[in-house]
Structure 1
């Protein structure tokens, strides 16, 4: 891995026409960088970050390149699960679970990934795969992490509906609190906003309208701009859903239909179908 990091760093540096001489007076010696690029030695974390700064490459971009331009493993698992749900492919999802079990190790992350796949497989197949012990393990893990990274955000965000309301509410609030430092990072901001929107909808579905109002207020602080059209649409739908649950007005139904109509207008058919199904379930 040291050799790979060094090789990638050299590729970036040379592509930007930056010489070792240009960097050495910034706190890292030319010989240190040369050995690092050849894979002969490593850099301390502080010097590595400094070296990246000198070639103007964000660490997220560098690590993406180091991972052969692929997202990390859990990102890939989540993406594959989404495809299984879109295509209603139970067989493929079951295969993913078996593969993950066969390649598991003793790490907590590996165990969390397996439980995650069990939960999603049960949701898609309507067959039992996880139990209360699995839920307790995930709950204990999430409460044990002081600052949530993308792993925890994606894990909770994709299974939040399985928790009883008290646990769900505590974890959702913890999610907002433990990720507040990431709101200015676009990739994190979008996932966190999506989780907050889902929390808003879940509270409304469960008729916990005071809790729903809390999430509505938290979401309003995101101040979605015009480039965040998806978030603005879902927020509009969720707010109209909340209005319907609170006042049962025809106007709120029309607002939800209008959002769905806009989704169809921009050819987001699967998204429109998902929310149309949600609306039909509300009105049954």
Structure 2
């Protein structure tokens, strides 16, 4: 579907006449020319039309693409889902898909997606940061650190590689990223990115044995998960918080929190996630069988 046809379809679906939609933005004749692809509006006029139609730009693209999600967005969401579920097989397939797309298009996005998949696979095997994983994310790290400023894409990339950084690097760049993220607070992805950054920072600090900082980040992550009603993220954050608390000798309720959340994960059949946290508990000599 072309640009003009998309505007026309949305207008008709929303029961707007040309006069109603164009009023206060441009002339009706100009809107008619837009819908027949004989005239293209300026950016400000275009977004005023979208605003009047009560749709966002991503939704416009979705309709223009015959109600199919753009593939680079689809593969990103599939990677995120596979990562949350620790689905190694799916990550392997997505890595192959991303590599094929990069070879065909030379689009750096697909190159980054391939590297993220491989890094996540490497992490899922050992359940710890390892040299192979760091090797995979190094090109992404170099890409990010070469940017003068970060936008949503770079913020998401940073979120994906936090666990492979040193604590000093992660803390330094998380301050910058969280300040920058504030500019995007009205975007749909904001809540997930913000909460995930704090959860990933807590995981990183656990990996490096910095339990007090891990606990602090987990507390913030839990609060964000509650505020945004992110159930899955709340479980992961509570487990991180409990593990940190036990290692700090503050284990009052921590074992019960772990037992409860591990049962929830098992009940929901998040097998890979259960295996991940079981390995994590073993790493820190935490026994919840008693």
Calculate the TM-score normalised by the size of structure 2. Answer: 0.78
Equivalent residues in 2 for 1:199-238 (5 A)?
Answer: 199-216=201-218, 218-219=220-221, 222=224, 224-225=226-227, 227-238=229-240
Structure 2, unaligned runs of 5 or more: none
Superimposed CA distance per residue, residues 146-194 of structure 1 (whole angstroms, 9 cap, x where no aligned partner): 2431x22332222322223322222333322211233444433123312
Q: 1:272 to 1:74 in 2, by over 3 A?
A: same
Query: In structure 2, what is the Cα distance between the partners aligned to 1:266 and 1:206?
Result: 30
Partner of 1:36: 34
Q: 1:272 to 1:116 in 2, by over 3 A?
A: closer
Cα distance, 1:9 vs structure 2? 1.6
Higher RCO (CA < 8 A, seq sep 6+): 2
Partner of 2:44: 46
Equivalent residues in 2 for 1:159-174 (5 A)?
Answer: 159-174=161-176
How many matched pairs? 279
Equivalent residue in structure 2 for 1:12, among 10, 13, 25: 10
Query: In structure 1, what is the Cα distance between the partners aligned to 2:32 and 2:154?
Result: 37
Query: In structure 2, what is the Cα distance between the partners aligned to 1:87 and 1:121?
Result: 6
Query: In structure 2, what is the Cα distance between the partners aligned to 1:241 and 1:174?
Result: 27
Q: Does 1:23 align with 2:33?
A: no
Query: In structure 1, what is the Cα distance between the partners aligned to 2:92 and 2:201?
Result: 30
Structure 1, unaligned runs of 5 or more: none
Equivalent residues in 2 for 1:39-188 (5 A)?
Answer: 39-81=37-79, 83=82, 86-88=87-89, 92-93=93-94, 95-105=96-106, 108-109=108-109, 111-120=111-120, 122-123=122-123, 135-143=137-145, 144-149=147-152, 151-188=153-190
Three-state SS of the structure 1 residue aligned to 2:177 is helix
Cα distance, 1:117 vs structure 2? 4.6
Root-mean-square deviation over aligned CA pairs: 3.4
Cα distance, 1:47 vs structure 2? 0.6
Calculate the TM-score normalised by the size of structure 1. Answer: 0.80
Query: In structure 2, what is the Cα distance between the partners aligned to 1:130 and 1:101?
Result: 20
Q: 1:176 to 1:221 in 2, by over 3 A?
A: farther
Query: In structure 1, what is the Cα distance between the partners aligned to 2:270 and 2:137?
Result: 33
Query: In structure 2, what is the Cα distance between the partners aligned to 1:256 and 1:271?
Result: 13
Query: In structure 2, what is the Cα distance between the partners aligned to 1:185 and 1:272?
Result: 31
Q: 1:224 to 1:47 in 2, by over 3 A?
A: same
Cα distance, 1:266 vs structure 2? 4.7
Query: In structure 1, what is the Cα distance between the partners aligned to 2:171 and 2:8?
Result: 47
Partner of 1:258: 260
Cα distance, 1:91 vs structure 2? 5.7
Partner of 1:276: 278
